[in-house]
Each structure stands twice: as C-alpha cells, then as structure tokens.
Amino acid sequence: MWMQLVGQDEYVRECGTKERQAPDLISISRRMADNSKLHIAMFPWLAFGHMIPYLELAKLIAQKGHKISFISTPRNIDRLPKLPPHIAPLINLVKLPLPRMHNLLEGAEATSEVPYDKVKYLKQAYDGLKEPLATFLETSRPDWILNDFLPFWLPEVASRLGISNAFFSIFIAAALSIIKPQHVVEYRTTPEDYAVPANWIPFPTTVAFRLFEVLKLFDHSISVEETHVTDMYRFEEVIKGCDLIAVRGSKEFAPEWMQLLEELHGKPVLPVGFLPTTEYDDGEETETWRSVKEWLDKQEKGKVVYVAFGSEAKPSQDELTEIALGLELSGLPFFWVLKKRRGLEDTEPIELPDGFEERTKGRGIVCITWAPQLKILGHDSVGGFLTHSGWSSVVEALQNQRALILLTFLADQGLNARVLEENRIAYSIPRNHAHGSFTRDSVAESLRLVIAEEEGKFYRDKAKEMSSLFGDRDRQDRYVDNLLGYLQSHVKQLKS
C-alpha cells in the first residue's frame, strides 16, 4: 500500500534499506501532504465589515494546514483580533503602506475613520496599492489570491503573474444579483430603476433597494463621477476577470440566488459558509467586559435590547433623536453602542437628546467606545438586536439565537434586510420608502413587538431555529473543505 502511494522508485530513493522503511515512509507521506498544501493570498477592502470575514475564512483555512498571506495596511493589520497561537504561524500578516492622499488625514486607513463623502478618496488610495501588491505577489507566488470587489485592476495583475484569482464576496448572493451580467445591456439609469428587482431575476422576489437606500448610494457607487471609478464598474470588472466566485452563505439558505449567480456570470460559484465570528479566548477577562457583564447580569432574562449599527453607519441627528426617544418610550432595558462621528475629519458629530441619559439612567447604557459585541449577544439577558443589517452582525445575532429588529443605513444593508424579511427571519422598523423617515413611536412599538409581546414570539422562535444553521460549526467546516478541494483541484489541473 505504501509503495503504491509513493511509487517504487521514490520508495527506494528515500528509504534505502528496510530498516529505515517506517520512519522514512512517514516522512515521505508528510512531505507529499505538505506539497498538497496551498498558499493563498487575501486582499480585502479597507472596511472591518470586510476584513473580519476574510480573517475568519483565513483562520479556518489555516486550521487545515494551508498558508495564508493576509494583506492590508499597517494600521488595519495592527487592529485585527488576536490570532490563536496554533494557527498564527500559518497566517502571514502583510503590511502595505497606504499611499498618501491630500484629501485624507494621515492614519485614516479604514472606512470607519472617514466621513461617508470622503470614502471615494480612500478607494483611490486603495487603488494606489496596485504596484506594491503586484510586487508582493511576484515575489511570494501564491497559488491563489482571494480579493474583494474594489480592485478592478487585480484580475489583470494576477493573470499576468500566472496566479489564479477568486472574488470572495462578503456580500450575500442575493445582494450580488444587482450586478449587471456581461451579456445584458444596462437599462438602469435612475435611482428608481434600482428600487425594483433587476429584470434578469427569473423568480418572484422583493429583494431590491428602497428608494431612500439607493439615493444614498447613487452618486458614489452607481452613477458615473469624474473623480473616481464607480463601485458597479469595480464589481463588474472583478467578476468578469475572476476564476471563481466565492460567496459568504450556504446552499441551505436561499439557494436560488447562488444558482442565479452562476447562470448570470458563467462562473463557478461556491458558498463558503456564514463564517460566524470567533474570538481567541486567552482566559483573561477585560475590564470592559467585566463592567458590561456586571450590568447585564442584573437584567431580566431575554428583555435587553442590544443596539449597534456597525463600524460605518452613523445615523443623522434626526434619526438619532428618534432612535433614542423610541428606546425611552419602549420601557425596555437597553445597551447601545453609539458611533457619534466617523473619524477626526467628521465635522458633524451627533448628540443624544437633552436629558435622555438622565431619564434612562439605570435602565439603559450608552457606550461610545468599543464593546465586545459577540460576548454581549451571547448573554442570556439580551432578547433582541436592533441592527443595521450588516451581515456579520446578522450572523452573530442568529448564531446566538437573538431576534432581529432592522434599521438600514447604507451599502448592501437594504438588500440584506429584504432577504431577511422575505424569509420572515427579522422585523424592519416601518419607515417612509421614499425618504426613509421613521418615528420614535414606530421604534418603540417594533422593539416591544419583537422582544416582549406574544405577537412577536414568531421572531424570537425563528432566531432560535436559525441558530442551528447560522452557527453550525460542522457545516461551516464542510464548506471550507469543499472550497479547498476546488482550489487544490484547479491548481493541480494547471500544473498537469
């Protein structure tokens, strides 16, 4: 059996004598296994909602013994979560300095540090990483590079260097459905065109932007600007030039969208699982978590509203006021992680209504610094999550059986919300579809419905049901195995 595995000539060369057979055969086996291991480069966009799922996938791949080169800017690399010691040697954190832009403050390297209207300059700086990245790829020669939707120039670089490239989308398959297929002439010219499902979707669906959602995106992401390349163009070029589309999701959840993507773009599409967030626990409890846990321990089980809108979303002052007064009217205990400004260049910080914190003292906490979201969602006192619908937050909530109340702000959040609504997994706060306004009363009523009232028990039960899918580690492991099998097979074909 061993001779069949390694070949007789190789067996003789390596072993020499029968006395050395056992240890040498083991050595050969290990070496062959090492030869089958991949070197995969990863290049996410400069947003933590992108970098963290990329890092989760990197950790899962490294656990299988493969080497990862995780590429980002120095400041972002330094702020990534700590890696578990047993896989840290396999994940090389590669720092490429971000080119200076006169429109950005020095040190602004992530979307969370830049006002929304200046993110386009961060994209231009990111494009400036083309040559340093090409140099790294040329010297390190990975088998694959998994890249985000922003670097429209990367497929050409990878092809020139003979490196296979996959578009790893942190956006779910349904959200990717709005990207125009190559063979379709673009017919959408106004925001209203994007407020209905694309005409190439062959099945009934409600997945489309609300008008107020697409209006926020139109100038910066969809319509043509002289100052930068649009996001839609970036998506289209990355999809056109990739060898594989890897999508955050699973075949068990909305499989029709995965199939549609493959049909639309003529590319293999592989789900990589939901990538539920994991934290390395070194056994030390931080002071922040101790104080948060102490407060949560005093609350009634399943009645606390956890409120957080991610690292990028910042409500307007009017929206903030209605959210705050809605929380107050609900009568429910709450823990609110509030982002008042997007970086030092944000000249319009938002403020809580006068007297709000005093009136809700003891019943609610407003945290304006970082908070351990995964630990908070895992606490028994939390009954629901008022969230922006960012997919990482959705996965973290559902893996912990927390009911979802949705309030979208930007990017793909509206499309995520439609998918969740369509599958009756979450409840969206009612708002005007044209301009997005909502009231404190609708906030209060929505929170009470989902967290406290009998009528909303459906959403609480649905969250418990979904936890078996969104938090299934064994299923996640199988998806990673499937992805690696494809990547290895592709490399083998190229070398044969």
**Catalytic residue list:** 50, 148
Phi, psi (deg, nearest 5) at residue 145: -125, 130
Asked if 81 contacts 55 with a C-beta cutoff of 8 angstroms, the reply is yes
Residue 25's Cβ-count burial label (10 Å; 0-12, 13-18, 19+) is middle
Residues 6 or more apart in contact with residue 17 via CB below 8 angstroms:
none
Distance CA 409, CA 244 (A): 30
**Residue whose C-alpha is closest to residue 61's, from 373, 261, 273, 345:** 273
Distance CA 106, CA 236 (A): 31
Residues 6 or more apart in contact with residue 164 via CB below 8 angstroms:
143, 144, 145, 158, 243, 244, 487, 490, 491, 494
- As a whole number of angstroms, the longest Cα–Cα distance in the chain is 85
Distance CA 383, CA 376 (A): 11
Residue 142's Cβ-count burial label (10 Å; 0-12, 13-18, 19+) is buried
* Tokens standing for residue 261: 């993507």
